[in-house]
Structures are given as C-alpha cells and as structure tokens.
Amino acid sequence: WPRTARRRDGALTVGGADVRDLASEFGTPLYVLDEDDFRQRAREYAQAFADGSVHYAGKAFLSGAVVKWLHEEGLGLDVCSGGELALALAVGFPAEKITLHGNNKSADELVQALEAGVGHIVLDSFEEIARLGFHAERLGVRPKVMLRVTTGVEAHTHEFIATAHDDQKFGFSRNSGAALEAVRRVIALDQLDLVGLHSHIGSQIFEPDGFEVAAHRLAELLVKIKEEHGVVLPELDLGGGFGISYLAGDEPIDAKIMADNLRRIVAKECLSYDLPVPHLTVEPGRAIVGPGGITVYEVGTIKDVEGIRTYVSVDGGMSDNLRTALYGAEYTAALVSRESAAAPMLCRIVGKHCESGDIVVRDLWLPEDIAPGDLVAVAATGAYCRSMASNYNFLPKPAVVAVRDGKGRVIVRRETPADLLRLDAEVGER
Ligand code: LLP
C-alpha cells in the first residue's frame, strides 16, 4: 500500500484523501497515485545512485505530471517510443536526460530523437547502427550511443537462469560475438559516439546475483573492447527490474542497499580487469511508481459458487489491469469504503469483460458482508497497469488521480465513450 495510506472513519485515505470522496468526485474504476510516495522513491533512488544516473523507465507509467516530478527530483528518463518521447518533450523535460530504447525504432523515431538531442540512444540491431549513422550524418549530429548486450542472464523473481542467446529479440548476443561485431561497426562510424554498454536482465528481481553475472560478462566485454580498439567505454547501464512488494511476504531490497551492491559488483568486476569504474546508470520503473498506486473499483455483482468461492465483480478488469490475466500476477486488495467485522470468506475479484480469465485478484479473503456499492482497492497497481490498459469491450480507460495534502487532482483524464466512438469511421468525424 502507498506510504501515506491510513484508515480514517473506517475508510482508506491516501495522501490524506478519503477514497470514498475520490470515487464520488472522479468515478470508478480509478487509478490513485500517491504523489509523495512516488517522489520519495524517486528521490531515494536518485540519492542512492548519486554518483551515477537514475533513468525512470517510462513504460511503467508515464504522464506529464510524472515527467515533471521526475525532473524536480533530479532523475533522467527512459523512453521506448516516439510517443513517450513526445510526451516528455511536450512538458519540457531536458532532452539530454532522456535515453531512447527499443528493438525496432522506426526511422521517424530515430530522427525525432536526433532532432531533439536526446542524451543517449541504445542501439539494438545491426540495421539500426547503419540507420542511425545515416540519419546522424544527414542531420550533422553525433549522438551518444550505447549497445544493448544480451548477457545470457534472465532474471525471474528470486532466481535467474541463463537463456538461449539466439532466442531473444533484444540486443546483441555476447556469446555469439554479435556484441563485439556491433562495437566494431559503431566505432567505424564517425557519426556515432559509443559511450557504453547496456543490459537489462529482467523484472521484479529481489536478489543482486543476476546483476553480478551480468556485470561480470559486461566487464569481460569492456576488456575485449579495450584490447581490440584501445578504447575504454566510460558508461555502463544495468537496466531496471528492482522488485516491489505485491503480497505481504515480498521483501524488496531498498534502493540504498541495491545501489551499494551494484556499485560494489561493478567496481569489483572492472578493477579485476584493471578497468576504470564506469559511470553507472540504472532504469527502475516499477520500484518508483508501483507501490504508490492503487486501483479503486466499485463492487457490482456478487456470485456465490456453492462450496467453491465467491466471485466479486468490479466495474473494470483486464482492460485496466492485464497483469493477472497475462502473467498470473498476484495482488492484494481490501474493502476500503468501510470497516467490517464480518467473517472473512474466500473471494475472487473479477472484472466485467467477456472472458473467464478476466481476473483482477485470484484469491483473497474479504468480509462476507461485502455488498454491491462497496469500494475495493487493489494495492501496488502504479506500474504496468494504466500503461498496459486497453479498450477491450469498448471500456474507456480510467482516469489517474494524483493525491497529496488531502486533495486529488486528475493527471490523466478518464476516456469517455465519445472518445472511443470518435475513432470509428462510420460514426465519428469523417
Ligand atoms: N529498462 C529496460 C530496458 C526495460 O526493458 C525495462 C522493462 C525497464 C528498464 C524497467 O523495468 P522495471 O524496473 O519496471 O522492472 N509489463 C511487465 C514488465 C515488462 C518490463 C519490460 N521492461 C510487467 O507488468 O511486469
């Protein structure tokens, strides 16, 4: 739950605002984002990596307000599409603090990034090296680039496993020699300024071990690059993936400890090869925006499937949170509009979509007097929920409200049915 979450008069308050008031003012389903929680986590990362850089991964959730908060808290930003880049630039985020990612950036996106003067472009394929070189020369600019390297480490929650290098759409494989070949090609192009290597090993990681293996393999590459080309690349980007608590038992590593671990690991690996310690960048998304977000739903139909469980239907579902259906993600939720002393019963929170897989929370205990009109909130939905939302079944996407000092303020407006109809060629404006 967000750091400012409290119970007042039986109801949940976040950022001092009562969720009942938020629901009646802004409607449901509603994404609520605790601004102080977001800012604090952003600041903690910025401070923990003060000698490096923290680039928030915009894919987790992006809005103009969030971009401004990031800037105020001193973070950089990762974008992976022209749309994310356009939003950041539209609210005045400094281009030099932006990194552009993506395995299939279009020529337009590359040109957009070059014209804006983004700080880094992470190259992901041989084609892209040539394409970026071509456009950089044409525009008379020399962008800083990094190469995304597939280190063969894929992290899964608590453990990590080596994956088949060829079976990946991202980056240059270190094993096959593609990474070194990419270095050769970039160095051969005067228009591109190769400053470092990038690696992202996965998401929702709790242990530093996977990063250790990745850093080791990147350091080996840095040595080879030094031997072959006589250049020492000054930067290393270890990507994101720091885990958060979705369920009571999850114990995320705090930013400071993670930073100390990563710094120690990188220093050890580089020094063992007599390399200077590179400037370290990390790209947390979930760890900054995830915990401070909740989704508030209104309960509708309640169906007791005799002897099995009770299905509690809410007014959203897989269109506003795809993660349960897509990954089997687990969440916790609670009745938030009142206190109840009723006995707990095993429930499943489901959405209103036409799929039996439309599950928001698979198993949880809710008071047996739960009733239509009650509000339930799902915790830790700040990351990858609004950003992965769809209009399945023609549901308009919910609003995002930021709360602080007892007040809610819309930072992303709710879509309306008219918004959806407007896109239809038979109905909307022609
Ligand atoms: N950097 C790169 C290059 C990435 O690909 C990602 C996530 C991140 C940073 C941020 O990772 P984070 O710190 O947020 O874990 N939709 C999935 C997560 C996909 C993440 C893809 N890349 C989910 O809902 O769990």
pLDDT the model gives residue 175: 85
* 357 Cα: distance to centroid of ligand 1 (angstroms): 23
pLDDT the model gives residue 302: 98
What does the pLDDT average to over 206-212? 88
Residue 13 pLDDT more than 60? yes
* 343 Cα: distance to centroid of ligand 1 (angstroms): 39
Q: How many CB atoms lie within 10 A of CB 345?
A: 16
Residue 166 pLDDT more than 70? no
| DSSP for 91-132, written as a single string | TT--GGGEEE--SS--HHHHHHHHHHT-SEEEE-SHHHHHHH
Atom 15 (ligand 1): residue with closest C-alpha?
Answer: 241
**One fold for 6-32+292-422 and 49-289:** no
- Residues 363-378 as b/e (b if ≥16 CB within 10 A, e otherwise) read ebebbeebeeebbbbb
Give the three-class secondary structure for 366.
strand
Residue 41 pLDDT more than 90? yes
Q: How many CB atoms lie within 10 A of CB 90?
A: 10
H helix and E strand count, the chain: 12, 24
Residue 4 pLDDT more than 80? yes
- Which of 218, 203, 213, 214 is CA-nearest to residue 158? 203
pLDDT the model gives residue 155: 73
The rounded percent of the chain whose pLDDT value lies above 90 is 90
ipTM over 0.90: yes
What does the pLDDT average to over 382-395? 98
What does the pLDDT average to over 55-79? 98
What does the pLDDT average to over 215-236? 95
- What distance in Å separates the CA atoms of residue 248 and residue 255, rounded to the nearest whole number? 19
Atom 9 (ligand 1): residue with closest C-alpha?
Answer: 240
What does the pLDDT average to over 384-399? 98
Phi first, then psi, for residue 365 (nearest 5°) are: -100, 125
Residues tagged active-site: 354
* 239 Cα: distance to centroid of ligand 1 (angstroms): 9
CATH 3.40.50.1000 fits 49-289, yes or no: no
Return the minimum-mean-pLDDT range out of 152-166, 195-209, 301-315. Answer: 152-166
Residue 162 pLDDT more than 90? no
Residue 163 pLDDT more than 70? no
Residue 157 pLDDT more than 70? no
| Parallel, antiparallel or unpaired: strands 30-34 and 399-404 | parallel
Q: Residue 260 has which token pair?
A: 């100390």
Ligand 1 pocket list (CB less than 6 A): 57, 59-60, 78, 101, 200, 203, 239-242, 283-287, 323, 383-384
Q: Residue 314 has which token pair?
A: 């809410």
- What distance in Å separates the CA atoms of residue 3 and residue 115, rounded to the nearest whole number? 40
Q: How many CB atoms lie within 10 A of CB 164?
A: 10
The rounded percent of the chain whose pLDDT value lies above 70 is 97
Provide the residue ranges of all domains of the chain, joining segments of one domain with +.
Answer: 6-32+292-422, 49-289
Q: What's the CATH number of domain 6-32+292-422, 3.40.50.720, 2.40.37.10, 2.60.40.10, 3.75.10.10? A: 2.40.37.10
Bigger pLDDT: 429 vs 210? 210
- What distance in Å separates the CA atoms of residue 144 and residue 121, rounded to the nearest whole number? 7
